[in-house]
């Protein structure tokens, strides 16, 4: 089974695309996830520039949607309205670029309030349902990514309730280590998500902060993880999401050695 390999890139250039094309590696665009990009006066010109750069790129292309400061479960409807605006903005940019797969954070925040998890899932389901007509019309797949969620049951609960083929999950291997108390091993997330898993952000850290280093570094326990994703019925996208080029090269070399 062939699992597509991609790398997350903050600023695309023709040179970067040439290197990735030669390496048979796809790209996840993160440029349009930042508020500074979305509010820039030259946003439309940037979209057009990306259209030109990407038109001959033959590897898979995905996009990270807006996530900073968004709250899909806020009690204040104005906050939810802004969150919906940013999600729609991301979808519109993806449509212009011909991109079908997008990643969005659900932005869970730790709470000790009794029943908060159920409340949070209810609000998430109601929020994401509003996008179904648009994503069906344009054949988009939205991958919901973990940040502070303690285990697979949080986003898994959303996806179970949505029960829609255009919603899947993005499992982030670094977030589950540095942002949770449980620090469950990646293998448990793969097994828990099962058919929901269609996209992976691969990186590591020392358990204290989100360092985005190669998965061969840090203290994340990847025992059984790669065997488990290779055994999935449908191959997930495997996206190297690191901060520095050297960590990308280390990750790519290690993944090639594992048979990817």
Domain extent listing, the chain: 5-257
Note the pLDDT of residue 111.
Answer: 80
CB neighbour class for 41 (10 Å; exposed up to 12, middle 13-18, buried from 19): exposed
- Nearby residues of 70 by Cβ (< 8 Å), 6 or more positions away: 82, 83, 86, 87, 105, 107
For residues 104 and 144, the answer to whether their CB atoms sit within 8 Å is yes
What are the φ and ψ backbone dihedral angles of 143, each rounded to 5 degrees? -110, 115
User: Within 13 Å, how many C-alpha atoms sit on residue 85's CB side?
Assistant: 11
Note the pLDDT of residue 215.
Answer: 98
Cross-strand partners of 27: 7, 61
Note the pLDDT of residue 121.
Answer: 97
Note the pLDDT of residue 112.
Answer: 74
Task: Give domain 5-257's CATH superfamily.
Answer: Divalent-metal-dependent TIM barrel enzymes (3.20.20.150)
pLDDT tens track, the chain, 260 positions: 689 999 999 999 999 999 999 999 999 999 999 999 999 999 999 999 999 999 999 999 999 999 999 999 999 999 999 999 999 999 999 999 999 999 999 999 888 788 999 999 999 999 999 999 999 999 999 999 999 999 999 999 999 999 999 999 999 999 999 999 999 999 999 999 999 999 999 999 999 999 999 999 999 999 999 999 999 999 999 999 999 999 999 999 999 999 99
Tokens in use for 217? 């570094």
CA-closest candidate to residue 125, choices 157, 93, 103, 98: 157
């Amino acid at each position: 089974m062939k699992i597509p390999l991609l790398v997350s890139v903050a600023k695309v250039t023709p040179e970067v695309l040439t290197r990735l094309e030669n390496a048979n590696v796809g790209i996840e665009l993160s440029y349009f996830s930042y508020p500074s990009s979305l509010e820039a006066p030259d946003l439309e010109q940037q979209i057009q520039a990306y259209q030109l750069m990407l038109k001959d790129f033959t590897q898979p292309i995905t996009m990270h949607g807006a996530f900073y400061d968004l709250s899909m479960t806020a009690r204040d409807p104005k906050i939810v309205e802004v969150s919906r605006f940013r999600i729609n903005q991301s979808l519109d940019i993806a449509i212009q670029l011909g991109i079908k797969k997008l990643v969005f954070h659900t932005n869970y925040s730790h709470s000790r309030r009794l029943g908060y998890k159920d409340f949070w899932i209810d609000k998430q389901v109601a929020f994401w349902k509003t996008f179904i007509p648009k994503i069906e019309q344009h054949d988009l797949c939205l991958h919901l990514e973990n940040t502070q969620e303690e285990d697979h049951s949080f986003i898994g609960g959303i996806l179970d309730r949505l029960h829609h083929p255009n919603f899947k999950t993005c499992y982030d291997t670094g977030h589950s280590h540095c942002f949770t108390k449980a620090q469950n091993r990646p293998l448990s997330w793969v097994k828990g998500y099962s058919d929901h898993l269609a996209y992976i952000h691969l990186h590591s850290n020392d358990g204290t902060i989100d360092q985005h280093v190669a998965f061969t570094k840090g203290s994340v326990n990847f025992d059984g993880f790669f065997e488990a994703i290779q055994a999935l019925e449908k191959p997930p996208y495997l996206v190297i999401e690191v901060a520095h080029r050297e960590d990308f090269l280390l990750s790519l070399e290690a993944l090639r050695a594992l048979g990817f």
